[in-house]
Structure 1
Amino acid sequence: MPVSQCNGANLYYEEEGAGRPIVFLHGAWAGLRFFEPQLMNLSDEFQTVALDFRGHGRSEKSEAGHTVPQYARDVRAFLDHQDLDEIVLVGWSLGALVAWEYVDQFGTDGIRGLVNVDMEAAPGPAGNEEAPTYDLDRFRDINRSIQADHLAFIEQTIDVSFKHPPTDDLRTTILDEDSRSPPTVKSAIIIDATLCDYREVLPDIDVPMLVCAGADEKWRSVPVVKRTADLVPEARFELFEESGHSLTVEEPEKFNQVVSDFVKSL
């Protein structure tokens, strides 16, 4: 099993193909299995790489370090260990926050482009005081659900992450993937991610960014995702009509084509 020791935690990763590296960062409580259609089908043209954050997937379940800044430092260590340069960094949900935190800490040297998959710049009350994606009541309810019935919470998450119900095989894969991060990790990272605010970071990004949003998103609204494209000088927006939050597996063919076109344009 390929692992990379990053800041005291063994991180599981997979890679395929050759060419310009595309590095995929998954969402909270998820794992790199959400990028299987990209790892395999984009590897004909590019080097595709995905890793599991600490506490997620097949990576080490460390007791500490479950913050967006630490995940970004882990990504930096991973890229250094793997000698990856001139990359395109694709962040889905939490992964987008980690990508922006990476840029805030380390700049864009070695990065040719960014892809934001269905994430807003500030998910908590600071981003939208009138109708935040995560207000205190919602945050409390999510955390209590995680701690009260872990598997029921995962099932509920799957139900609200798709426009159309996933196939039985896909649902089984997601259930397995999401259950690999323990409740302690889930609660810790939701606290930190909810309080993130990258509205002052995004305008300083000096590489092209592609912003993708699912039209049937139930976690957040399409306009708040699109707003990230408005904040970045070189950004473009793409709407996925047949997707909710999990568009990498809901519309994999379209997503792969859009990402391929974007990478080739850099």
Structure 2
Amino acid sequence: MNTYIEVEPGIELYVEDTGSGEPIVFIPGFTFTTEVFSEQVKHFSKTRRTIVIDPRSHGRSTMTVHGNDYVTHGTDLGKVLKQLKVENATLVGWSFGCLTVWEYIRQFGTAGIKSLAFIDMPPKSLSVQQDREWVEGPLDDMAAAYTNYLRNPKGQRDFISAYAAGVMVQRELKDDELNWIVDQSLKTPYYIAANLFSSGLFSDYRVEAAESSEAVSTLYVVAEHWAEAAVSTVSKLAPKASVEILGGHLMFWEHSGKFNKLVDSFLEGRG
């Protein structure tokens, strides 16, 4: 079932809701859409109610200049889950979609959550102790990405193209694959993407990451390129969480079979 859910007057989120059984909910990352989770939908909808969401100003959801921050995205997620009558769910965030999940927890707690999976996102994006913590990247590099790239459509294309080829996957992308990834991002206009980027970089959800991992079963799936820093941070912040290492930032797309298998093992209590 494909549907639209109004989260406030004039703003609708596009949602795909397929399968039946215990619910699993996927939230895409910065400027990306439900389409990135196509292999997860095929797999998990065979045994579970599988829900994927386009956040506001992403994909087929309403483009708006209002609420392009992860506090609002967390509120939106709560409204979607309530309207769909989703209970006892596994929430799966990818990249900045993890911020949406942590913000949901900040606002609503973990009472209605069965388990959590966070795909390749540190709970705090930036730090002056960047050499000793798992963060998105050096402060100067992140500032340059915002200042030099997310100022016009060409800059957004160049930024996503470079990130896709250098960080998202480990093999060389075919032209049509790279074009598809870039087109996903460009559904969000550059001026909204800039808002989301800055909101994400200035987020700090270490408290929610720590507390939620104590309350419910939690899985982190992290990319190989920063696995050492990620494992160190998670082990200190959320020692009860499971950590798996796989591929690049888009590992659930490039290595969908391996990713789905390790999530299955986690959900079945073997993780």
TM-score computed with the length of structure 1 as normaliser: 0.91
TM-superposed CA distance for 1:126, in Å, is 5.5
Is 1:265 the counterpart of 2:269 in the alignment? yes
Counterpart residue number, 2:257? 253
TM-superposed CA distance for 1:101, in Å, is 1.4
Query: Could you report, residue by residue, the CA deviation over 1:107-163 in whole angstroms, capped at 9, with x for unpaired residues?
Result: 001100000101111111256376753444222321221214232222222212211
* CA–CA separation in structure 1 for the residues paired with 2:19 and 2:161: 34
- Unaligned 5+ residue runs, structure 2? none
Aligned CA RMSD, in angstroms, stands at 1.9
Pairing of 1:52-67 with structure 2 (within 5 A): 52-67=54-69
Pairing of 1:197-216 with structure 2 (within 5 A): 197-205=204-212, 206-216=215-225
CA contact (8 A) 1:16 1:40 kept: no
TM-superposed CA distance for 1:229, in Å, is 4.9
- Unaligned 5+ residue runs, structure 1? none
Q: Which amino acid aligns with 1:142?
A: A
TM-superposed CA distance for 1:166, in Å, is 2.9
Is 1:170 the counterpart of 2:172 in the alignment? no
Q: Which amino acid aligns with 1:188?
A: N
Counterpart residue number, 2:27? 25
Cα 1:92–1:2, aligned 2, differ >3 Å: closer, same or farther? same
Counterpart residue number, 1:239? 245
SS of residue paired to 2:242: strand
TM-superposed CA distance for 1:12, in Å, is 0.7
Is 1:145 the counterpart of 2:149 in the alignment? yes
Counterpart residue number, 2:42? 40
SS of residue paired to 1:209: strand
CA contact (8 A) 1:207 1:234 kept: no
Q: Which amino acid aligns with 1:72?
A: G
TM-superposed CA distance for 1:199, in Å, is 1.8
Report how many residues are paired.
260
CA contact (8 A) 2:128 2:139 kept: no
TM-superposed CA distance for 1:7, in Å, is 2.8
Cα 1:3–1:158, aligned 2, differ >3 Å: closer, same or farther? same
CA contact (8 A) 2:7 2:80 kept: yes
The equivalent position to 1:156 in structure 2, one of 155, 162, 167, is 162
Q: Which amino acid aligns with 1:128?
A: Q
TM-superposed CA distance for 1:11, in Å, is 0.5
SS of residue paired to 1:40: helix
- Once structures 1 and 2 are overlaid, which stretch shifts more, 127-136 or 148-157? 127-136
Is 1:222 the counterpart of 2:227 in the alignment? yes
* CA–CA separation in structure 2 for the residues paired with 1:212 and 1:195: 22
TM-superposed CA distance for 1:168, in Å, is 4.1
* CA–CA separation in structure 2 for the residues paired with 1:126 and 1:25: 29
Cα 1:229–1:114, aligned 2, differ >3 Å: closer, same or farther? farther
TM-superposed CA distance for 1:38, in Å, is 0.2
- Once structures 1 and 2 are overlaid, which stretch shifts more, 86-95 or 224-233? 224-233
- Once structures 1 and 2 are overlaid, which stretch shifts more, 155-164 or 66-75? 155-164
CA contact (8 A) 2:71 2:100 kept: yes
- Once structures 1 and 2 are overlaid, which stretch shifts more, 85-94 or 128-137? 128-137
Cα 1:157–1:15, aligned 2, differ >3 Å: closer, same or farther? same
Is 1:92 the counterpart of 2:94 in the alignment? yes
- Once structures 1 and 2 are overlaid, which stretch shifts more, 75-84 or 201-210? 201-210
State the identity %: 26
CA contact (8 A) 1:120 1:224 kept: no
CA contact (8 A) 2:31 2:188 kept: yes
Counterpart residue number, 2:191? 184
CA contact (8 A) 2:98 2:118 kept: yes
The equivalent position to 1:116 in structure 2, one of 107, 118, 137, is 118
